[in-house]
Amino acid sequence: MRFATYENNGAVHAGVAGEDGLHPLPENTTVLDVVRTGLPAALDAGAEALRRPAVPLAGVRLLPPLAPPTVRDFVAFEEHVEGVVASVSGGAGVPPEWYEAPTFYFTNPYALLGAHDDVPVPPGCELFDFELEVAAVVGRDGASLTPEQARQAIFGYTILNDWSARDLQRREMKVQLGPAKGKDSATTLGPWLVTADELAAHHDEDGFLTLEMSVSANGARIGHDLLSNMGWPFAELVSYASRGTWVRAGDVLGSGTCGNGGCLAELWGRGRDIPALAPGDVVEMTVEGLGTIRNTVIAGTTLPPVPAARSRSGRRTR
């Protein structure tokens, strides 16, 4: 089942993608509502929606499939880490700590864009980049889940593009806290949320999804990889995210960028002379079984420079 959120004639609806378009769910029902009911009930609701007349896909704007409570983004591809460490952090090789446990950061759930939305360049950014990823969506609340429990808790999957301002990210990472404005301006999700049962046949014996992934810019392929090249399967990522805390239904967990050209920064780190994204560039991502997203980069808002910190005074009393 493929659940979608879309705008039609100024109104937002949730529906199910079928061969003839989008079949609406009941009025005032969101995809997040459906996710929270659990996968069996969601499949029943989707089957009921498919019996309703469809809205042609060409006449609507696809929004992010759901409004997640949180968005975590992992860095689960070794090849990506190796290339980006060189271009973003100025280092070499993969940090040994990467192998010890999955690493993630929380990104901005208010900056989500739809499958075909325009993407503005962030203020002050001169090195804009894409990141080809897949995201899992949690389907039930849980804490300290085992990998098997986490696998059962995954509702479905969608494509994720973690747009990145690499020059801003480079500066921020030197403060040893993590990305901030380098990462929170835009994240594309879409085109729809594909339920986990649809991809069951694509799991290998170790629980990895063997899906082909590719990304192109202006019609020229930049990168391609298999999702199964992740260092950990999604069940391990969800389990780790819940370790000592909670994950909630609707939470989005990104795989991190794939290798072999899943982003420009990886290629920069390997010595490839490829220009950063600029207004007018079109980035298209396709993942087997999940569909295609296609976004155009546009000029962003021009803002005044950020003031530097003042020198500390050293005063300890008023």
Quote the CA–CA distance of 87 and 217 in Å, as a whole number: 20
**In the prediction, which pLDDT does 46 show?**
98
Element (H, E) at 40: helix 39-49
Cα distances (angstroms) measured from residue 51 to each of 26, 47, 61, 182? 12, 7, 22, 44
CB atoms within 10 A of CB 303: 9
DSSP letter string, 76-125: --HHHHHHHIIIIIS--S--GGGGTS--EEEE-GGGEE-TT--EEPPTT-
Spell out the domains of the chain, with CATH numbers in brackets: 2-63 (no CATH), 71-298 (3.90.850.10)
**In the prediction, which pLDDT does 85 show?**
87
Ranges of residues in the chain with a pLDDT under 70 are 89-90
User: 121, 128 in Cβ contact below 8 A?
Assistant: yes
Pairing of β 119-120 and β 291-298: parallel
Quote the CA–CA distance of 262 and 277 in Å, as a whole number: 14
Phi-psi region of 33 (alpha: psi -120 to 50; beta: other; left: phi over 0): alpha
**In the prediction, which pLDDT does 178 show?**
82
**In the prediction, which pLDDT does 313 show?**
86
Tell me: the pLDDT tens digits for 95-113?
999 999 999 999 999 999 9
Tell me: the pLDDT tens digits for 66-89?
999 999 999 999 999 999 988 876
CB atoms within 10 A of CB 273: 6
User: 78, 94 in Cβ contact below 8 A?
Assistant: yes
Q: Average pLDDT of the chain?
A: 96
